Amino acid sequence: MLGVWCPAAEGQGDPGPMIADRPGAANSAAVVAVGYYHVEMGWSRTERSVLGGGELVTTRLPELLVRVGLTPRLEARVGFEGFIREELEGSIPVPDVSGAGTPVLAAKYLITAPLGDGIALALVGGSTLPG
């Protein structure tokens, strides 16, 4: 995964530590600092056993997520699932399937900042767009 902090305007202060939200794998409660944007890209490969034998192998690239800090508790998010390829490996002859994933628009709101025990809570809401 690749992540980059970028100031949206000159003269911004220290944004603090970069905490990634690995698209499709893990999300934190942290939001991007106001006036900064954070670009994340990754690649994933999953393998699942299927009924009748064989494995369904799914590859996604680039799994893009752009996060923009709007307020101390709110960030806007624009993502793209990437290009997806599914292959069925095993005894059943099925053609491979590939194509573009869907774009996503979302927002994350930090409900509670990390407490003394390190627990924080955030709400993420969004929608996929027609592909």
47 with 60: CB under 8 angstroms?
Answer: no
Asked if pLDDT for residue 7 goes beyond 90, the answer is no
Contact 40, 22 (CB under 8 A): yes
The whole-angstrom separation of Cα 111 and Cα 107 is: 13
Least Cα distance to 79 among 22, 122, 6, 18 occurs for 22
**In the prediction, which pLDDT does 126 show?**
95
Q: Show contacts of 54-59: CB within 8 Å, 24+ apart.
A: 54/88, 54/89, 54/90, 54/91, 54/92, 55/88, 55/89, 55/90, 56/86, 56/87, 56/88, 56/89, 57/86, 57/87, 57/88, 57/89, 58/84, 58/85, 58/86, 59/84, 59/85, 59/86, 59/87
- Mean pLDDT of the 47-58 span: 85
pTM of the entire predicted model: 0.77
pLDDT at 119: 86
